[in-house]
Amino acid sequence: MGLLSDKICLVTGAASNPGLGHAIAHCFAAEGATVIATDVDADGAKATADSIKSAGGRASSWRQDVTDPDGWQATLGRIRDDYGRIDAVVNNAGIVVLKRLEEMTLEDYNRQMVVNMTSVFLGTQSAVAMMRETGTKGSIINMSSVAALVGVIGVTAYAASKGGVLGFTKAVAAETAPEGIRCNTIHPGMIATNMNKQAADENTDEYEALTSAIPMGYMGPPKTIGDAALFLASDLSSYITGTQLVVDGGMINQ
């Protein structure tokens, strides 16, 4: 029996490989979960689900724009129809705009906030409503960042969005704890994903400054975040809510 046997788990932003959502989906499936992988990139989400099934796991996928309230209702409604409940939701979908304050436009800022923060609000609100409806003592995992905990040059809007995720999650955890619904954040440092590669291509100087600040000396593999999410989704963390799990190779320990 796996840590997530018979659990129904939604992972957003699951298309990119290597990526956090892809790794989380695989970690969950390997521990017995039925995984629903969603992404605005429907083909990429399907590829993630197909790779899980090829490895003997259970998965399905479809396109989801996490900034669309109607899309959230459709996604949770489909999960309710197909499985009857949701046990864990990982609000992982996100983007990064790597710019200093003087270079940041209002359009950049607004796009960063709606994808990284508003989507988490929509996903958490929808998940809590369904968990309450079905009486499920579930786990909601919201992806934040070390940028929410320490000052990092060149990530002004990104830091604002991830700091919002942190504060929002703590408030939700306080509201839902009496019902056994847990809500926590994960704070990745520099992880070897496609999103970080894109950030490096767009602003090499800022990216090199960030990577040079990793005490362990290397970027973490995506599976390290998958393992952290697995812990928070499983009963191993049954008495943990409103906390932040930092996975950063020691970046904030400076």
Only one residue has tokens 């990216």, namely 207
- pLDDT score, position 196: 62
Number of Cβ within 10 Å of residue 209's Cβ equals 13
User: pLDDT at residue 209 above 80?
Assistant: no
Q: In this predicted model, what pLDDT tens digit does every residue of 135-167 receive, in sequence order?
A: 999 999 999 999 999 998 889 999 999 999 999
| Nearby residues of 232 by Cβ (< 8 Å), 6 or more positions away | 139, 141, 182, 184, 186, 240, 245
Q: Cα 131 to the chain's mean position, in Å?
A: 19
Lowest mean pLDDT among 102-111, 133-142, 214-223: 214-223
Domains and CATH numbers, the chain: 8-186+222-235 (3.40.50.720)
- pLDDT score, position 218: 84
Beta bridge partners, 60, equal 36
| pTM of the predicted model as reported, rounded to 2 decimal places | 0.94
3-state secondary structure of 144: coil
- pLDDT score, position 254: 72
- Nearest Cα neighbor of 165 from 149, 185, 151 is 185
Mean pLDDT of the chain: 94
Lowest mean pLDDT among 1-10, 37-46, 201-210: 201-210
Residues with catalytic roles:
158
- Looking at residues 99-117, what average pLDDT do you find? 96
